Amino acid sequence: MTIIVLSGAVSMVTAVLGTRLAITVLRKRKLGQPVRADGPQAHLSKSGTPTMGGVVIIAASLAGYAAGHVLTGDPVTASGALVLLLMTGLGLVGFADDFIKLFMRRSLGLRSGAKLAGQAAVGAVFAVLAARFPDSFDLTPASPHLSFLTDFGVSVGPVLFVAWVVVMVTGTSNAVNLTDGLDGLAAGCAAIVLLAYTAMTFITTGQDDLALVCSCLVGACVGFLWFNSFPAAIFMGDTGSLGLGGAIAALAVMTKTEVLLLITGGIFVIEALSVLIQVVAFQRFRRRVFLMAPVHHHFELMAWSETKIILRFWIIAAISAAIGFTLYQQSIT
């Protein structure tokens, strides 16, 4: 427990110091976030805010994880390494998106097809490795399955397992990306969900390394949030949102709680569903259900303050995570 807390603290301090440095460098080079003209008009004032802060979140998480293993001398496990691999891989996809936005001055970044292909490719590599190396770097393949809770799974075979994980990884990473529309919203919600996973892995025998990963991710999010909270001095960009979404999806696979993630990460489900509902309603009926999607923009246009929306969404995230943790705890007792 001590090492888990210390490693999280290392990640948090690294994120605080790294984010401060990143803000200075990005401002000096005038690398700021372009804001879409079709978004809320209040966001136009945020144009030019430094972005790509997700690089710091990923680096801080890796630093904390490395520090934890240096302190314990324990070997790295496949489960812990694969979570960080997926986070880093999707972070690179997000980095390419952010790079295009900043250096090519294109507010939409990567084409949607290219971004989805990158997410799917990274997710497929992760799925194959997750099935091949379930708990340690050995040659014993896992039995691919879909898990609703830790004690119940349906065997689907390796091909469908890879397809399922790819859908889950792309869905989760895009849901976190959609949530990243207000200052500190995605970082705070991700920290809450990851805190739940810290508790879930800590109480489960044999998942100490995953608990270490979760703690480092929480620390990195909290450290970044010091500068990302309203009014944000830096944004995480797609580098951070896709990376964090990937980490959460990977944790669900490694803890065999893939479907339970719909509850534990309920806030991200709500944000993604709001976009889906808006698109379907407009395409089929030429009507909008929300004033603007994702749903946090709907409340902005209803004249809610940004801090009010953020705090209430954090509360929803905490309630969802608590319910998910309770169901998980019940399933292993």
pLDDT digits (tens, 9 = 90+) for 240-278: 999 999 999 999 988 888 889 999 999 999 999 999 999
Give dist(CA 122, CA 110) in Å, integer: 16
Q: What total number of domains does the chain contain? A: 1
Judge whether 275 lies within some domain.
Answer: no
Q: Is the pTM of this model over 0.85?
A: yes
- Residue 137: pLDDT band (50, 70, 90) is very low
- Residue 46: pLDDT band (50, 70, 90) is confident
Judge whether 227 lies within some domain.
Answer: yes
pLDDT value at residue 29: 85
Judge whether 269 lies within some domain.
Answer: no
Judge whether 155 lies within some domain.
Answer: yes
Judge whether 70 lies within some domain.
Answer: yes
Percent of the chain with pLDDT over 90: 67
The domain in which residue 157 lies consists of 2-259
pLDDT value at residue 288: 92
pLDDT value at residue 110: 82
pLDDT value at residue 30: 80
Least confident piece of the model among 107-116, 193-202, 245-254: 107-116
Q: Which residue has the tokens 């010091």?
A: 226
CA-based max dimension of the chain = 60
Judge whether 278 lies within some domain.
Answer: no
Which positions ≥6 away from 30 have C-beta within 8 Å? Answer: 48
Per DSSP, the chain holds a count of helices (H) and strands (E) of: 12, 2
Judge whether 324 lies within some domain.
Answer: no
Mean of the per-residue pLDDT values for the chain? 88
Peptide bond into 134 cis (omega under 30): no
Q: List the one residue out of 272, 237, 190, 273 whose CA is nearest residue 93.
A: 237
pLDDT value at residue 280: 95
Give dist(CA 138, CA 83) in Å, integer: 17
Judge whether 245 lies within some domain.
Answer: yes
Q: In whole angstroms, how far apart are CA 86 and each of 37, 43, 78, 124, 271?
A: 32, 31, 12, 10, 22
The residue type of 60 is A
